[in-house]
Chain A
Amino acid sequence: MHVAIIGNGVTGVTAAIRLRRKQPDWRITLISGESKYHYSRPALMYVFMGHMTYQGTKPFEDDFWSINRLDLRRDWVTGIDAARKCLTLHRGGDFHFDKLLIATGSKSNKFGWPGQDLRGVQGLYSLQDLRSLYHNANGTRHAVIVGGGLIGIELAEMLHSRNIHVTFLVREPSYWSNILPMEESGMINEIIREQGIGLKLKTSLKEILDDGSGRVCGVVTEDGERLECQFVGLTAGVSPNIDLVRDSEIETGRGVLVDRGFQTSVQDIYAAGDCAEIVTGGERNLLQQVWYTGKKQGEVAGDVLAGEDRTYDPGIWYNSAKFLDLEYQVYGRVNLNVPGERNLFWRHPEQLQSLRIVYAEEGVIGVNLMGIRYRHDVCERWISEQRPVDFVLDNLAKANFDPEFFDRHESDIVPALREQMS
């Protein structure tokens, strides 16, 4: 049995490792044109900033792959012939498989802005993007970043570390406020400005300007304001990278359409991770595009490839990020303005630290933290067991995960939140 996996990101690699554990004798090949070995995508920024070497971003030693007989193929797949079970490789010709996992990840969104393909305009997702950034940062004094999210803040921090002045154009009234409640979002605005990064809220991009040689020289906003810049970062989200699949007979929607077992419309061909759109049978399909879900989906996909009958259960949502020096964690659902849900919110009077608990009739459904670390397992248990908010407040200190000797704020938080409840 030969299993081919397109993509050596976290989903493809996690699936390969799971599969190897369950099927010691199968041949497994990981195909990637991006890098020879698997590296940690979220660590790209640390290579540019000089916190880490590229070698340091690789989660496994180089001999891991040969020891565990996971074949690596450095090439781009240019076509999938589902009927013949054959891939076309850019450099290597035909490549046969018995089972296939498509784990091609995402690509940066471009919304058809005039000038979006000029030199000096790019997103930040892949090793190629990192490489372009080296070229594009050359001679850049001022950079504009379009879109305020998790990648945007990373790109800003990277450029800022090289003394390049950065201005954000954010469509929303506050940073990432389509996801975060206003209070938390406001804290991000604060820390961005505190570090000397420009932040223009309620501002959309209209056009990217050409300096006459095909390189960017500025942007114009919807309000008609013109900003000089030598670099434009496009970080208004990502979408499934399915250019390869669109030409095949495999069904696609926004992503590669799969069932809860990651099976595509074609027998023996699977897709998982950022590129997969899971048909739930419910109102909306499931499209998850963060590191953790990529890893969790890869685990299930590996088991399915090995022949097990498994389906993906997204479980209790969690995520985390770091906005410059401000850490963020979320457990469960923290949605905005949902009828029947109540929010309790505490913020430190001086520092950038906050805690939000969202609860409904049935119990606690979400926890949002800025500048404080909480325990994943404790929060997840509270939410999955639908603990009443009183119980959570009684036991709040048990969830704290901040390092030893850090100030613990639960003694301030709990009375403040109880007051909000009454």
Chain B
Amino acid sequence: MIDTATLDYDFDEETLGFEEPPAQPTPPASWPERLSIAAVALGFLALIVTLLGPLSGTWAGILLSFGLIVLGSAAYFWFAYRNTVPGIKHDGIMFGSATHLGLIGWGLGIAITGFYVVLYWWPEYLERGVRLVDPLSHALAGGPADRWFFYGFLYTLAILVFGVRMFMKYRHNRYQIIRTASVMFFQLGFAFLIPQLLKSFNQPEFYFTYFWPLKYDYLFPSTVDSLTSHPGALGVFMVFWGAVATFIATPVLTYLYGKRWYCSWVCGCGGLAETLGDPFRQLSSKTTRSWRIERGIIYSVLIFITVTTIALWVNSATEGRVFGRLSGPLASAYGFYVGALFSGVIGVGFYPLMGSRVWCRFGCPMAAILGIFQRFFSRFRITTNGGQCMSCGNCSTYCEMGIDVRAYAQRGENIVRASCVGCGICSAVCPRGVLKLENGPTHADRYPGADQPLAALQEALSAAKVYEGKNGAAAPDPVDPALRSQRRPLRSQFTRRL
């Protein structure tokens, strides 16, 4: 007989769920941790004083405010993690107000979104902040700061401080350490110091780690004209560099290493997502529906920028005879809706709401191109270790790109997805050591059909059509769902497919 306690069990886990369990009080923070927090608090106080008072625009002002905040928070992360045994530290993530859509999370989301709105459309309210960093701008760029210098300064600090957090959190994982060091290096050097130094040498402000179509105007005729007409050879080199990066380096490096060479090692957007965004990576949606939306938007953005760029060139070559005045507004529209609203405001502002890769996942046209190469013409894959997966779902939970990694791992299949940025966190959090990022032969074991990428691409496109035309694969197949899935081995519905 089954015992009555079992028979009486009727808890509805679907609607009631499992909230935070009871706990004993957390031991008080150590003295170094408390001092670090005090330093951060003092820094913010100094920031307010500096904004209002006479210290504005002095080195003392910068050091007292940003210096204390940066050092204090980096020290806090250092000491807080130092007392733990190295390993995955995700206790309480799903109970945290900031990390699981609580009041703090929503507050942060609104605050960061608000900051970007002010930055783009009401910069006059940031004027005091911009003046604060004048001494640094004078030293680097040889002139007063503007809002973009101020923004770049904050952006770089965020990557550096939260990079320290990554170093400590993943100090048992050398892939994470090297990758984090890489994004910190490229942000500080190539996306902050070098562009400013170029200005001080009267050269164009140029970002050597941003390429078309992410930095969409780098292949616009106007930018090319202005760079090539700049005195000296550097401007021409910059045009050459940008073109080589887009048309040669991108396919070659993605073939060799996958999308990750850029998205999680070099790119500044990726750099911020991998550092400041790490506490929010679990908030990305893993549903098939969100995947469908993702593909719809990201490839639309890619088409948008490609059409716009071609139109601008045709217009420039024909002096406006073909498109008339269409291409200009097209470029402006892209700049406003995608460049500012999507990549800036939503891209970072929605970190605490939709995870750290909202822009990279749903919008970035560079990610779209890299993704197509990665999916069909690359050596990169995440290998699944035989039958060791026990479907726990840590990999899917912590995938910032919303890939349902488990859906593949539990079938013993390798993961080859266009959106994967190769951050390596799925491999790190897997409690059974099932996943490994690898560059290997493109054929045979990458995924079934990998040795015929063109056929696979065709298949994927036709499968997508079937899917969209039928109001989702949810439509019951009168013939045989099993056969259908055999017919379309690359169909995207992994979590739904048998």
Contacts and interface: CB of A to CB of B under 8 A. Distances in A.
Interface of A: 10, 17, 20-22, 24, 33-37, 40, 42-43, 46-61, 63-64, 66-69, 76, 78, 90, 127-128, 130-131, 133-134, 137-141, 161-165, 191, 194-195, 243-244, 247, 291-292, 295-296, 318, 320-322, 324-325, 327, 329, 373, 375-377, 380, 401-407
Contacts of B390: 40, 42, 291-292
B261 to A, nearest CB: 13
B6 A51 contact: no
Contacts of A401: 383, 385, 433, 436
B474 to A, nearest CB: 6
Given A10-B391, A33-B6, A376-B387, A17 B20 contact: no
Sorted nearest first, the 5 A-B pairs with minimum C-beta distance are A376-B386, A325-B87, A373-B433, A162-B23, A43-B392
A50 B86 CA distance: 18
A242 to B, nearest CB: 10
B476 A67 contact: yes
Given A320-B433, A373-B433, A162 B22 contact: yes
- Give the one of B286, B383, B394 with max A CB within 10 A: B394
Nearest to B172: A325
B105 interface: no
A55 B474 CA distance: 20
A296 B433 CA distance: 20
Given A51-B93, A162-B22, A162-B23, A325 B496 contact: no
Contact of B6 (A48, A66, A128, A140): A128
A334 to B, nearest CB: 16
Q: Which residue, of B2, B3, B391, B482, has the highest number of chain A Cβ atoms within 10 A?
A: B391
B422 to A, nearest CB: 10
B2 A50 contact: no
Contact of B431 (A33, A57, A137, A327): A327
Interface stretch (B11-19, B323-331, B337-345, B347-355): B11-19
Contacts of A52: 94, 392-394, 397
Nearest to B90: A51
Contacts of A162: 21-24
A406 B86 CA distance: 15
B392 A33 contact: no
A36 B13 contact: yes
A76 B93 contact: no
A22 to B, nearest CB: 7
Contacts of A131: 9, 11, 18
A391 B494 CA distance: 39
A49 B92 contact: yes
Interface string B133-173: 00000000000000000000000000000000000000011
B321 interface: no
A36 B14 contact: yes
B463 interface: no
Contact of A403 (B175, B386, B495): B175
B431 to A, nearest CB: 4
A139 B394 CA distance: 29
B482 to A, nearest CB: 4
Nearest to B96: A50
Contacts of B410: 59
Given A24-B482, A67-B473, A46 B7 contact: no
Contacts of A292: 387-388, 390
26 contacts: A33-B9, A48-B18, A51-B88, A51-B394, A52-B392, A52-B397, A53-B94, A54-B18, A57-B393, A66-B474, A69-B476, A128-B5, A128-B6, A134-B22, A137-B23, A162-B23, A162-B24, A164-B23, A194-B85, A292-B390, A318-B386, A324-B87, A327-B431, A401-B436, A403-B173, A407-B174
